[in-house]
Amino acid sequence: MENVNLLKRAKDLLRLYDISPKKRLGQNFAVNSGMLQRFVSHASLTEDDVVLEVGPGFGFLTQFLSSKCKKVIAVEIDPQLVRFLRTQLQSLKNIELIECDILKVSFPSFSKVVSAPPYSISSPLLFRLLEQQFEQAVLILQKEFAERLAASVGTKDYGRLTVNIYYRAEVELLDIVPRTMFYPPPDVDSMMVRLKPRAPPFPVDDEETFFGIVKTLFTQRNRKVRNGLISFLHQQHGLTGKKAVELADSTIYSTKRVRELSPEDFGILADELFRKF
User: Do 188 and 214 sit in the same domain of this protein?
Assistant: no
CATH assignment at residue 242:
1.10.8.100
User: Do 53 and 167 sit in the same domain of this protein?
Assistant: yes
pLDDT digits (tens, 9 = 90+) for 37-49: 999 999 999 999 9
Q: What is the pLDDT of residue 81?
A: 94
% of residues, the chain, pLDDT over 70: 99
Burial code (b: 16+ CB inside 10 Å, e: under 16) for 184-219 equals: eebeebbbbbbbebeeeeeebeeeebbbbbbebbbe
Q: What is the pLDDT of residue 2?
A: 44
Q: What is the pLDDT of residue 239?
A: 78
- Last residue in a domain, options 152, 174, 197: 197
- Last residue in a domain, options 197, 228, 253: 197
- Last residue in a domain, options 197, 215, 250: 197
Identify the segments of the chain with pLDDT beneath 70: 1-4
User: Do 269 and 215 sit in the same domain of this protein?
Assistant: yes
Q: What is the pLDDT of residue 137?
A: 98
Q: What is the pLDDT of residue 209?
A: 96
Q: What is the pLDDT of residue 195?
A: 98
User: Do 98 and 212 sit in the same domain of this protein?
Assistant: no
Q: Into how many domains does the chain fold?
A: 2
Which amino acid does the sequence have at 141? Answer: L
User: Do 11 and 39 sit in the same domain of this protein?
Assistant: yes
